[in-house]
Amino acid sequence: MIRRLSVGPLGENVYIVEDPGVPLVVVDPGAEPERILAETLAAFHRSNAPAVYVALTHGHLDHVGALGGLLAGLASEEVPTRTFAPSGDRNYFGATARETNERIFASIHGMGYFHKHWADVPEPDDYYDDGFVLPGTSIVALHTPGHTQGSSCFLAEGGSALIAGDTLFRDGRGRTDNFDADEGTIVRSIRERLCALPESVRVWPGHGEPTTIGREKRYYQ
């Protein structure tokens, strides 16, 4: 089961993927860490999960801003955790996180958001590449660069659901007006990787309402 939470002033979508007896997966905790923590703990206990995985589609602040707070809250409850981030977005985490995100938000005239919502972004436990499977689950990472160099999606629920980050939206795609993005690259990612999926695949985007591959595919043919 996939649960969606819309958080923060940008309406960023956080996803909780819950299956009984396997690690609970939280994708892109962007803001409101206390709210995400409460939902995560409820799902963790309800599903009898052995651990909580936190998986990031990319490193932009509006998708990772609650990471530190969520991990601290889970640690206080003695919940085992493991975090995963895309290899191509290493500079968005750890010691270089602030500098990289500040450069991004300055380039899109978003410094008001940056200054109000900045929180330190810890290094993940693991960096992943295309085709990586989150251990103990059937969730597969698809590298779909363009919004950032490392931007990725997660194929879940036996391939019937795609958690798309900021690659593909309903009637749109991720913005490419900064130093780490490229319009041609994101279009190729969508056309060659995502449009190759079955049209019935449900798309859960990083912002906005769900859609399907079939509905969005028409824009890329």
In the prediction, which pLDDT does 36 show? Answer: 98
> In this structure, what CATH number is given to the domain that contains residue 175?
3.60.15.10
pTM exceeds 0.85, yes or no: yes
Tokens representing residue 118 in the block = 């900045």
Residue 184 structural domain = 2-220
Distance CA 124, CA 128 (A): 10
Residue 221 scores a pLDDT above 90: no
Q: Do residues 81 and 51 touch, judged by C-beta distance below 8 A?
A: yes
Residues β-bridged to residue 14: 5
pLDDT digits over 141-155, tens only? 999 999 999 999 999
- Cα-flanking dihedrals φ and ψ of residue 172, to 5°? -175, -175
162 forms beta bridges with 155, 203
Count how many domains the chain has: 1
The whole-number pLDDT of residue 22 equals: 97
Q: What is the pLDDT of residues 73-120, one digit of tens each?
A: 999 999 999 999 999 999 999 999 999 999 999 999 999 999 999 999
What distance in Å separates the CA atoms of residue 182 and residue 203, rounded to the nearest whole number? 22
pLDDT computed for residue 86 by the predictor: 98
Residue 86 contacts by C-beta under 8 Å, 6 or more apart in sequence? 56, 57, 58, 59, 127, 128, 129, 141, 143, 150, 151, 152
User: What per-residue confidence (pLDDT) applies to 120?
Assistant: 95
Residue pLDDT, tens place only, 2-55: 999 999 999 999 999 999 999 999 999 999 999 999 999 999 999 999 999 999
Number of other CB atoms surrounding residue 192 within 10 Å: 11
Tokens 């493991």 -> residue: 82
